[in-house]
Structure 1
Amino acid sequence: MNSVYCPIDDEGHYIQLHTIIASGDAALVAHRDDMAIKMAIVYANYTLEEVEENRSKIRREQEVWRRIQPDFETPVEGIVQCLDLPGDTIEMKYMSGGTLSKWLEHRARPSIQLQKRWFRQLAIGLHNLHQRRVIHSDILSRNILLDGSLNVAICDLGASSIMPIDTIMANAVDEYNCSIWTDLCQLGLVFYEIATGRMTSISLYDNGGSDNAVARFPSRDMLPALGKRLWARDIIETCWREGGYGAAGAAGILAKLDKLHVPRRRRR
């Protein structure tokens, strides 16, 4: 392959295309040994300005990781473990199960027991982000990874915002109008995909032709209908009400899960 079309890593080496496991507008993730390494997309024909623009986005995300996980030896529950931040890269634990979106697309619907486990793990992860005064802003099933034991964890902090450490998160919005409530709304959409097997394409930035850089909490009629017999109906509906979980935030999901009785499926 022409080297012009082969990306270059942080040390100036060409990246083997078969090692790339994810790629976006400005960054890619390559699999090396037991790590997933996120780095800026750089090609041989890029100008210095293009290189710096993409690398600056990695450095911005590094700051988010430093807020969330200052000790690389101590992972944060519900969030993919960061192993190191060398140069303009982010080294993370490799999650062999791939993305939740692909898992849901290609597998049978998970059991209710597994669904509840995923709900709990994701709620804990989001709660831990908010406790560290970080708004994720991009909670989507493609930004959730599974390990080999089917545990889920939140990843991709490239769109996240760091708030001042004394911020009252229930009242806070970032420069894009994202908040813990928009995070919870997005988490509710992920829960919907898990519980129903139906994928959604709803975006907080679909604003009928207005400035798409600014998020809007969607009205209820923009969100999917929920069947009355859906076991997670109340959890999801509360995610879809702005401020629905009150001062508890994402921790309120855990309280609902603890109180929830899900009838076992009858054996045939």
Structure 2
Amino acid sequence: MASNSSPGQSDFLFEMHDEQTKPVDHQQQGDAKPKVEYDFIRNAQGELISGGVTGIVELLENGTVLKAPYPGLDMDLHIQDIAKEADIYRRIGPHKRLIQMLDHSEEGLVLEYMKNGDLKTYLQSHSPIPIDLKLKWAYQVAEAVDLLHRNGVIHCDIKPRNLLLDTSFDIKIIDFSGSSLDGSRPTSGESTRFYLPRHWKDPSTVTTDLFALGSTIYEILYGTCPYRDIASDEVERLYKQHEFPDVSDEPWGQIIRRCWLSQFDSAADLQSAIWDIANFGS
């Protein structure tokens, strides 16, 4: 909700619902968002378009996006998380699987805007989607995750909502403010259907990202998240017993299951497996 006054000149009361990280995930039905409310007064810079655990995302009048830290008692921590995200963009540099970081200050990150939005919303609002396009997305997500891992980044929250589509409907991975950089402790985590069962003190690793990648590819190819209609507590129990949705009906099912069973050593290996099934080169 944006004020009717000119951007940057007015205050507004901001209420937001967004996904929580795994340790406090109380989601009960499918991938609907659990209700998390933030109420505060802040200066509006543009049109509110999104937000997460760390920051508010606004579309500015000049067509760029501002990711600003939440104000309040934890604002210093949010500023640190956004600074870490900026460090990740700087370390990796420009890449076709990343959006462009245009600026960074304590005000937040200025990023390029992807008008086609996030992949989850696109999957929900468009049907049918050609299988060739879905397989391309699966390959590109694996490519993006491999890029992060090769640069010392564990994403820690891979899911379709953290994947954007550019004007050519190619994938861009986003939201590194809660990620682990060079083994640092992450400040975000996967929601239940993307979460590799483990002790809560265990670190996030390549393997935990690849598990989430398996659930992401499942959602891309099947159009819905794993076990959408089952309560999260039951999903967690099933995952612990290695009881996953049946994916044996399609040739890519083995790839998804191997992600869930931690049978890939790297996202690059997963890329190769997707390439072989999709026959992109034929």
The TM-score with structure 1 as length reference comes to: 0.73
Paired residue for 1:56, among 64, 77, 92? 77
Aligned to 1:220: 242
Partners of 2:132 and 2:278 within 8 A in 1: no
For the residues of structure 2 that align with 1:219 and 1:186, how far apart are their CA atoms?
A: 17
Task: Report deviation, 1:64.
Answer: 3.7
Matches within 5 A, 1:111-126: 111-126=130-145
Aligned to 2:259: 239
- Greater relative contact order (Cα < 8 A, sep 6+): 2
1:28 aligns with 2:66: no
Task: Give the RMSD, CA atoms, in angstroms.
Answer: 3.1
Instruction: For residue 238 of structure 1, give the secondary structure of its aligned residue in structure 2.
Output: helix
Task: Report deviation, 1:109.
Answer: 3.5
Task: Report deviation, 1:182.
Answer: 1.0
Name stretches of at least 5 consecutive residues in structure 2 with no aligned partner: 4-9, 16-40, 185-198
Deviations 1:167-219 (CA, angstroms, capped at 9, x unpaired)? xxxxxx996521111111111111111111123478xxx778x9xxxxxx854
For the residues of structure 1 that align with 2:127 and 2:277, how far apart are their CA atoms?
A: 24
Task: Report deviation, 1:229.
Answer: 2.8
For the residues of structure 2 that align with 1:82 and 1:30, how far apart are their CA atoms?
A: 15
Aligned to 2:161: 142
Matches within 5 A, 1:147-162: 147-162=166-181
Label 1:26 to 1:245 Cα distance change in 2 as closer, same or farther (>3 A): closer
1:66 aligns with 2:87: yes
Matches within 5 A, 1:1-268: 3=11, 5=13, 14-15=43-44, 19-32=47-60, 33-42=62-71, 46=72, 50=73, 53-70=74-91, 74-163=93-182, 177-200=203-226, 218-221=240-243, 223-226=244-247, 228-242=248-262, 244-246=263-265, 249-260=266-277
Name stretches of at least 5 consecutive residues in structure 1 with no aligned partner: 166-172, 211-216, 263-268
For the residues of structure 2 that align with 1:148 and 1:30, how far apart are their CA atoms?
A: 19
Partners of 1:30 and 1:37 within 8 A in 2: yes
Label 1:174 to 1:161 Cα distance change in 2 as closer, same or farther (>3 A): farther
Label 1:133 to 1:233 Cα distance change in 2 as closer, same or farther (>3 A): same
Label 1:119 to 1:4 Cα distance change in 2 as closer, same or farther (>3 A): closer
Deviations 1:138-182 (CA, angstroms, capped at 9, x unpaired)? 0011111111221111111122011259xxxxxxx9965211111
Partners of 2:11 and 2:42 within 8 A in 1: no
Deviations 1:40-78 (CA, angstroms, capped at 9, x unpaired)? 123xxx5xxx2xx2242232232243134337xx41232
Label 1:160 to 1:201 Cα distance change in 2 as closer, same or farther (>3 A): farther
Label 1:164 to 1:158 Cα distance change in 2 as closer, same or farther (>3 A): closer
Instruction: For residue 113 of structure 1, give the secondary structure of its aligned residue in structure 2.
Output: helix
For the residues of structure 1 that align with 2:200 and 2:101, how far apart are their CA atoms?
A: 24
Aligned to 2:33: none
Partners of 2:12 and 2:44 within 8 A in 1: no
The TM-score with structure 2 as length reference comes to: 0.70
